[in-house]
Amino acid sequence: MSSEESKLEEIRERIDEIDDAIADLLSKRRQYAKEAKEEKLRLRKPIKDRKREKEVVEKWCERAHRSGNGERVKHELSEEMEMMKKLAELIIEYTLKNELEE
């Protein structure tokens, strides 16, 4: 394996480690969402909370903005914020789907 290929493999290993961490964190998040559902039911609150959903999406977008460190061009930051928004919305969608099906 050449040094260039070795460097690429090292970078891919780091990405795999991050992917593993993301999967673990999403699993933990799902467990907390189940606990939140139980509390909502106990408190007789609706499962779906649009205000909370909006807060979550906004926080994800803020994280993208904060992680920019002024080093990225506006276009890159805009793309990252869009990705964060879509990820947050997808996570919320699947979380609600699980909560409503159980």
Query: What confidence tens digit (pLDDT) does each residue in 82-97 have?
Result: 999 999 999 999 999 9
Using only C-alpha atoms, the chain has a radius of gyration, in whole angstroms, of 18
The answer to whether the CB of 30 falls within 8 A of the CB of 91 is no
DSSP letter assigned to residue 47: S
Query: If you average pLDDT over residues 19-43, what whole number do you get?
Result: 96
- Given this model, what pLDDT does residue 83 score? 92
Where do the structural domains in the chain lie, given as residue ranges? 1-45, 46-102
The answer to whether the CB of 41 falls within 8 A of the CB of 102 is no
More confident residue, 71 or 13: 13
